[in-house]
Amino acid sequence: MSIAWDLLACPACRGELAPGPVCHACGRTYAEEAGVIRLRLPAAARIEAVRAFYEQAPFPGYPPNSSLAWLRARGDRSSFARRLDHAIAGDARIVEVGCGTGQMSLYLAKADRMVIGADLTMASLRLGAAAARRFGLEQVRFVETDLHQPGLRKAAFDVVVCSGVLHHTPDPRRAFGQIVELARPGGMVVVGLYNAVARIPLRLRRAVARLSGYRWIPFDPVLRERGGEPERRQAWLRDQYMHPEEHRHTHGEVLRWFAEHDVDYVRAFPSALLDDPSEDLFEPCGDAWAPEAWLAQLGWMASLGQEGGLFVMIGRRASAIDARPPARGSDVPSPAPALVGEEELR
């Protein structure tokens, strides 16, 4: 599939790749297995521990007899999903870093978009690649790689999505700098993280769960919903309550990351404004007043705390001399054909 090679790079030297896959610069040869391009180098012990964790229980799974219609209907139920899809141009180049089993990548694979789903875990990527074949989606490719040594070309993507991932890395701030480099100048960066305030309800539930040996977990709507799907229930339980690496962040902290890496703040989802009528995720909110953001985050304990407290920050990489012409409409994104529960649709 021609979509992949001009968006990928050798993780060892960042040289160009040719089908094989082989690096033009250093000659290193990689593999392709089950529809997944394998561009992962050995990583530090803490990163390998996270990879091994997801190899045991890929997250999220696909229910039996899942279809493209099921995936799109599921995505359309999410306000965030619909808004993100509408904000992205119909011919954009998109990378989802930490795609898990690829549900978000598949959901965004519409119109003339080119989508790369990248993740550490082959067990998850195999599920995503198999679903892409089953759904007939040829414009999405899956890549096994590590965001610290990514097999992805710098400044190649109109939109970089990384949701529910950075807070599971040893140094989320440094990892954020790695994903920003993937966006073209003027491109969009969409990052989802556990919010330090909104995560409090789940942390309380986790304390009870640990005391009971995970036999009793009160007030978790996702576990209740998945009572009849033991594999998907276990995947949520492990991801939310047993993960070996977890960090939590505030709106103001991520704003500082944006400033450090020349990313212009656009908005948060949910909004960090107490009164924000706009539904366009790529429209600048025009304000980032800290007291208002703190009040909003307190409110997120009720709205986001039920499912884990994941919030999204959106920014635009500062403009510079672009390496290639932008995709039509990607400087000022226009509505395209129409992501799900941010942590869920990965």
Is the residue at 231 inside a domain? yes
What global pTM score does this model have? 0.86
Check residue 57 and give its pLDDT.
Answer: 66
Is the residue at 205 inside a domain? yes
Report DSSP state, residue 5. G
H or E segment and range at residue 200 = helix 200-211
Residue with the larger pLDDT of the pair 61 and 310: 310
Is the residue at 2 inside a domain? no
Is the residue at 26 inside a domain? no
Per-residue pLDDT reduced to its tens digit, 62-84: 888 899 999 999 999 989 989 99
- Name the average pLDDT for the chain: 87
Q: Is it the case that residue 338 has pLDDT exceeding 60?
A: no
Cα 165-79-175 angle, rounded to 5 deg: 15
Check residue 345 and give its pLDDT.
Answer: 63
Provide the pLDDT confidence category of residue 324 given band limits of 50, 70 and 90.
very low
Average pLDDT, integer, range 251-256? 97
Check residue 270 and give its pLDDT.
Answer: 95
Q: How many domains does the chain have?
A: 1
Provide the pLDDT confidence category of residue 231 given band limits of 50, 70 and 90.
confident
Per-residue pLDDT reduced to its tens digit, 158-188: 999 999 999 999 899 999 999 999 999 999 9
With CA atoms as reference, report the closest residue to 315 among 194, 190, 159: 190
**CATH code of the domain containing 231:** 3.40.50.150
Is the residue at 292 inside a domain? yes
Check residue 267 and give its pLDDT.
Answer: 96
With CA atoms as reference, report the closest residue to 146 among 100, 98, 106, 189: 98
Provide the pLDDT confidence category of residue 330 given band limits of 50, 70 and 90.
very low
Is the residue at 24 inside a domain? no
Residue numbers of the domain that contains 112:
34-317
Helix and strand element counts for the chain (H, E)? 11, 11
The secondary structure of 156-194 as a DSSP string is -EEEEEEES-GGGSS-HHHHHHHHHTTEEEEEEEEEEEE
Check residue 36 and give its pLDDT.
Answer: 96
Is the residue at 17 inside a domain? no
Residue with the larger pLDDT of the pair 257 and 212: 257
Give the percent of the chain with pLDDT over 70.
90
Is the residue at 325 inside a domain? no
